[in-house]
Amino acid sequence: MSSVVLAHGAWSASWAWKKMRPLLRAAGHEFFSPTYTGLGDRAHLANRAIDLTTHIDDVANVLEFEDLKDVTLLGHSYGGMVATGVADKMADRIARVVYIDAFAPKDGQSLFDLLGPRGEAHMRAGADKDGDGWKLPLNPMPPDTAPEDSAWAVPKRRPQPIKTFEQKIKLAHTTFPPRHYIYARKNGPGDVFRQFGDRAKSEPGWKYYEIDASHNPHITCPDALMKLLTEIMAS
């Protein structure tokens, strides 16, 4: 049995991984999926001071207070920023980090840095228009999301504090636990995640995989994602 800990994506929360819970449980794993401060069931705590460090601490504290070791840490999308910070802070407790179509920052980079100037300008304009300047409005769900999945997921998503995208990550270490990157092949034009897949294919310390899915495989094809995670955790 493995302890699997999730760093979920932006605007999302633990609820978005409900299809994965029974699959991980059936495989004998203990699954911890903390919701970040200000999102999901913790949306009542949202405030403009929440930043990337807040969300890193949300996940790192689960490892500490549950006394978890030999952890498989999952980072999906924005959760790659969080997982990178957790891996830097709690490396002795982590067996591997699995980036699922996720941002993979280097020291001193913010998510806005990784989006690039156009992406940042678009997000800031949305925050100024619909988020009082400090909340990032929701990105749309991938176009191949089934209508029934959109029906339960979209109402639960919440705007995200902009500082989580602005804050540059500060890494204390240059070595990491083994890292695995799962790239979603069905991402559309302007795909920002290809750069991280290419990095994983070329840098030591990484293993690279692909999944025949768009950006949210935990929603659109959980069985395929579970099969791939099983392969990774057995390696």
Q: Is 12 a catalytic residue?
A: no
15: how many CB neighbours lie within 10 A of its CB? 16
Q: What span, in angstroms and rounded, lies between the C-alpha atoms of 215 and 188? A: 9
DSSP-assigned beta bridge partners for residue 183: 210
Edge-to-edge order in the sheet of strand 206-211: 30-32, 3-7, 71-76, 94-100, 179-184, 206-211
CA atoms within 13 A on the CB side of 192: 17
Annotated active-site residue in 3, 12, 33, 77: 77
* Cα–Cα distances in angstroms (integers) from residue 98 to residues 22, 37, 44, 146, 180, in the given order: 19, 22, 30, 25, 5
Tell me how far apart the 2 most distant CA atoms of the chain are, in Å: 47
Q: What sections of the chain are H helices per DSSP?
A: 20-26, 52-65, 79-89, 111-115, 117-130, 147-153, 163-166, 194-202, 217-220, 222-234
Q: Which residues are catalytic?
A: 77
